[in-house]
């Protein structure tokens, strides 16, 4: 059996909406390129830097921070985290994709608290990130607008590996035995063999492997992600309430119920769904069970309710697995 290739690795650093509780911190999610240490942070609620330490992630390998919207439970941990990266002697530039207000806030806080970062921030207004942005050779990010009390965004996180494979079958058929010629072709060198020129380009097959996850910010209209989700293997979305509680609370807070997200995922034929950002009232095991039942009633795919420090991996075939921490 062909081994599937894990491409994206997820660690939930906070899964509570609005306020931290004893068991859950406010929103933050680490997404790592499974091939190396590069990782992206989506949201940075207060206390995220402790969670990062506990999850054994290094601020040195952080390549980008995406902030979905300006509500405190999604960003109050940002400046402290940037300061700590500075004290850890980070020098590599750091990309921040966020609403413009976040840049103003960082600037004001730096001025008012004598903060001087020893590394440059590459600030990108989230409105400019609706085209795909290449962050590293393998990771890219794209923002999608959502609906919330303030402008809010989802982020596509895409890992793409390009592998060059030598067409050994063709070479064997030509009577070229394994050896130096194979090595040269693999390295892209054309080879003169007897009367013949073997062109590297004729014997190298390009294979592309890709994994695509969408991480939503707060949002009361999951259907806004319909187009983006057509290409995605995983949606991570808020599910602050059950439908019954949402009906009681009313539409003012502009959040989604489990039912809304589950129905959307089912209509889209999405194969994987992870729900997060639970109201404190839904965080005990009874509350989680009610949410899970509601999802099950409307969605037939593979789903999880995230807890803090839960880890998942997504491979290039679109298979999502929960990682056993024991
Ligand atoms: Zn929130
Ligand atoms: Zn919010």
For range 42-60, the mean pLDDT: 97
* Rounded-to-integer distance, Cα 260 and Cα 171, Å: 55
- With 50 as the cut, is the pLDDT of residue 254 above it? yes
Nearest one of 23, 230, 80 to 65, comparing CA atoms: 80
Would you name the residues annotated as active-site residues? Answer: 73
Question: 26: which residues sit within 8 A by CB, 6+ positions away?
Answer: 14, 16, 17, 18, 19, 20, 45, 46, 47, 73, 74, 76, 77
Q: How far is the CA of 68 from the centre of ligand 1 (A)?
A: 9
CA–centroid distance, residue 179 to ligand 2 (Å): 60
pLDDT at 14: 98
How far is ligand 1, taken at its centre, from the CA of residue 253, in Å?
10
3-state SS class at 150? coil
Nearest ligand, measured from the Cα of 239: 1
Q: Is the pLDDT of residue 263 over 90?
A: yes
Q: Quote the percentage of the chain above a pLDDT of 70.
A: 99
User: With bands split at pLDDT 50, 70 and 90, how would you rate the model's confidence at 119?
Assistant: very high
- Mean pLDDT (the chain) is 96
Report yes or no: 141 and 68 within 8 Å, Cβ to Cβ: no
Where do the H-state alpha helices sit in the chain?
Answer: 48-54, 72-75, 78-87, 100-112, 168-173, 180-186, 200-203, 226-229, 243-249, 258-268, 285-298
Segment 278-316, tens digit of pLDDT = 999 999 999 999 999 999 999 999 999 999 999 999 999
Phi/psi at 81 (5° precision): -65, -40
Q: Compute the distance from residue 161 Cα to the ligand 1 centre, in Å.
A: 33
Q: What pLDDT was estimated at residue 3?
A: 59
Rounded Cα gap, residues 82 and 59, in angstroms: 9
Distance 71 CA to ligand 1 centre (A): 6
> Which of 245, 69, 261 minimizes the C-alpha distance to 148?
69
Mean pLDDT of the region 237-259: 97
The per-residue pLDDT for 1 is 42
pLDDT (mean) for 155-173:
93
Residue holding tokens 């599937």? 4
Residue 167: pLDDT band (50, 70, 90) is very high
Please give the pLDDT value at position 142. Answer: 98
Ligand nearest to the CA of 238: 1
Q: What is the mean pLDDT of residues 188-193?
A: 91
Tell which residue, 175, 177, 134, 186, has the closest CA to residue 156. 134
For ligand 2, a single-atom ion, which residues have Cβ within 5 Å? Answer: 71, 218
Task: Pick out the residues of the known binding site.
Answer: 69, 71, 73-74, 148, 218, 277
DSSP state of 237: E
In sequence order, which residues have a C-beta less than 8 Å from that of residue 29 and are 6 or more positions away? 10, 11, 12, 13, 14, 41, 42, 43, 215, 236, 276
Ligand 1 centroid to 131 CA: how many Å? 25
Which of the four pLDDT bands, split at 50, 70 and 90, describes residue 326?
low
Name the pLDDT band for 8 (thresholds 50, 70, 90).
Answer: very high
Q: Which residue has the tokens 């965004």?
A: 153
Closest ligand to residue 277's CA: 1
Q: Topology of 6-161+210-323 in CATH? A: Metallo-beta-lactamase; Chain A (3.60.15)
Q: In 217-232, which positions are buried (b, 16+ CB within 10 angstroms) versus exposed (e)?
A: bbbbebebbeebbeeb
Compute the half-sphere exposure of residue 168: CA atoms within 13 Å on the CB side of its CA.
7
CATH 3.60.15.10 maps onto the chain at 6-161+210-323
Position 280 scores a pLDDT of 96
> Which ligand has the nearest atom to the CA of 73?
1
Query: What is the phi-psi region of residue 289: left when phi exceeds 0, alpha when psi lies from -120 to 50, beta otherwise?
Result: alpha
| pLDDT for position 325 | 77
Confidence class of residue 319 from pLDDT cuts 50, 70 and 90? very high
- Measured from the Cβ of residue 89, the count of other Cβ atoms closer than 10 Å reads 9
Q: How confident is the model at residue 193 (pLDDT cuts 50, 70, 90)?
A: confident
- Give the 3-state secondary structure of residue 121: strand
- Tell me the residue length of the chain: 326
The Å distance, Cα 76 to ligand 2 centre, comes to: 12
- The binding site for Zn(2+) comprises 69, 71, 73-74, 148, 218, 277
Helix (H, G, I), strand (E, B) or coil at 221: coil
pLDDT for 204-231, tens place per residue? 999 899 999 999 999 999 999 999 999 9
Residues 6 or more apart in contact with residue 186 via CB below 8 angstroms: 164, 166, 200, 204
User: What are the strands, taking DSSP E only, across the chain?
Assistant: 6-14, 28-33, 39-44, 62-66, 94-98, 121-125, 133-134, 139-145, 153-166, 191-193, 196-198, 204-215, 234-238, 272-276, 302-305, 311-315, 320-322
Q: What is the pLDDT of residues 32-41, one digit of tens each?
A: 999 999 999 9
């Amino acid at each position: 059996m062909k081994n599937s290739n894990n491409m994206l690795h997820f660690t939930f650093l906070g899964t509570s909406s609005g306020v931290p509780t004893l068991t859950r911190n406010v929103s933050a999610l680490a997404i790592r390129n499974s091939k190396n240490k590069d990782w992206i942070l989506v949201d940075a609620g207060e206390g995220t830097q402790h969670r990062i330490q506990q999850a054994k992630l290094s601020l040195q390998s952080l390549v980008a921070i995406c902030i979905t919207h300006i509500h405190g439970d999604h960003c109050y941990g940002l400046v402290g985290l940037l300061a700590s990266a500075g004290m850890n002697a980070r020098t590599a530039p750091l990309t921040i994709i966020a609403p413009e207000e976040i840049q103003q806030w960082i600037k004001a806080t730096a001025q008012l608290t004598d903060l001087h970062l020893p590394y440059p921030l590459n600030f990108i207004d989230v409105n400019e990130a609706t085209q795909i942005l290449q962050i590293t050779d393998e990771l890219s990010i794209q923002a999608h607008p959502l609906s919330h009390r303030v402008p809010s965004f989802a982020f596509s996180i895409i890992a793409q590996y390009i592998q060059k494979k030598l067409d050994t079958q063709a070479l064997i058929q030509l009577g070229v035995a394994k050896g130096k010629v194979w090595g040269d072709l693999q390295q892209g060198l054309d080879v003169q063999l007897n009367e013949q020129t073997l062109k590297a380009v004729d014997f190298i097959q390009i294979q592309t492997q890709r994994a695509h996850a969408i991480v939503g910010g707060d949002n009361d209209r999951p259907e806004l992600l319909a187009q983006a989700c057509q290409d995605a293997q995983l949606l991570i979305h808020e599910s602050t309430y059950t439908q019954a509680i949402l009906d009681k609370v009313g539409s003012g807070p502009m959040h989604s119920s489990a039912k809304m997200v589950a129905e959307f995922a089912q209509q889209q034929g999405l194969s994987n769904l992870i729900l997060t950002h639970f109201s404190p009232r839904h965080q005990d095991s009874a509350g989680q069970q009610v949410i899970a039942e509601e999802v099950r009633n409307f969605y037939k795919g593979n789903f999880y309710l995230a807890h803090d420090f839960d880890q998942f991996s997504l491979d290039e075939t679109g298979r999502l697995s929960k990682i056993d921490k024991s």
